[in-house]
């Protein structure tokens, strides 16, 4: 898994590439926690190149959502591939997150 971070307007965007499984979820969790510890409020998780997510990965997304809400900010998930969308739907997580088609859509929803 690789994470690329960029700042666009009021959002920090994490572009996630590869698998978020038990082995890699701790790296993503550390990155997410650092963002919010540093005072970030608005985050977009761009999942365009994410090809797998396990339950430990879902837990990290849930942590990110809780941290964003605690900071009175926003968390958007975007560019999810169909198999990842299906995992979110089956697990009930699709109802917990603001999932949009593209990164541009997330930036327009501020």
Average pLDDT value for residue range 18-41 = 95
List the helix and strand counts (H, then E) for the chain.
4, 5
> CATH code at 93?
3.30.750.24
| Cα dihedral across residues 85, 88, 92, 98: positive or negative | negative
The answer to whether residue 110 sits within a structural domain is: no
Domain count within the chain:
1
Confidence of residue 109 (pLDDT cuts 50, 70, 90): confident
The answer to whether residue 9 sits within a structural domain is yes
Domain limits for position 88? 2-100
Question: Has residue 110 got a pLDDT over 90?
Answer: no
Q: Is position 68 within any domain? A: yes
Residue 17 lies in a domain: yes
Q: How far apart are CA 1 and CA 109, in angstroms?
A: 28
For 45-65, the pLDDT digits (tens) are 999 999 999 999 999 999 999
What's the pLDDT at 46? 98
Structural contact between residues 67 and 33, judged by C-beta atoms closer than 8 angstroms? yes
Residue 82: inside a domain: yes
pLDDT digits 0-9 by tens, 80-97: 999 999 999 999 999 999
């Amino acid at each position: 898994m690789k994470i690329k971070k960029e700042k666009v307007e009021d959002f920090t965007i994490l572009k996630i590439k590869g698998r978020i499984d038990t082995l890699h979820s701790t790296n993503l969790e550390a990155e997410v926690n650092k963002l919010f510890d540093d005072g970030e409020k608005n985050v977009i998780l761009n999942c365009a190149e994410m090809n797998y997510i396990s339950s430990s990965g879902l837990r990290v997304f849930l942590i990110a959502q809780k941290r964003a809400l605690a900071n009175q900010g926003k968390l958007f998930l975007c560019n999810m591939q169909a198999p990842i969308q299906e995992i979110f739907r089956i697990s009930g997580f699709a109802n917990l997150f603001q999932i949009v088609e593209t990164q541009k859509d997330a930036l327009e929803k501020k």
